[in-house]
A and B are shown apart, each in its own frame.
Chain A
Amino acid sequence: MNENAKRSQDIKPVVIDIGDGAAIPSRGDRGLVSAWKLSFFFAVATLAYLLIFRPTPYVRLIKFLPDGILVTFQVTIFSILLAIVIGLLTGLGRISRNRAINLVASTYVEIVRGVPLLVQLFYIYYALGQFVKVPDMVAAVVAMSFCYGAYMGEVFRAGILSISHGQTEAARSLGFNRWQTMYYVILPQAWRTILPPVGNEFIALLKDTSLVSILAVSDLLRRGREFASESFLYFETYTMVALIYLIITLILSKLVSIMEERLSRHVTR
Chain B
Amino acid sequence: MKLDVRTYILLTLLSATWATMNSNIYVELLIMAGLTVLQVFSKKGSFMPGILLTYALFCGVQFVLFPVMPETVEMILSMFVVNIRSFFPVVMCIVLLYKNTRVSEMTASFTRMGVSRKVTVPVAVAIRYIPTLKEEWLHIRDAMRMRSVTRGIKNPFLRLVKKLECYLVPLFVSSLHSADELSTAAVTRGIENPCKPTCRNYKPMGVKDYIVIVMAVMITVYCFIMHM
Are A and B subunits of one complex? no
**Which residue numbers of B lie inside 8 Å of A, CB to CB?**
none
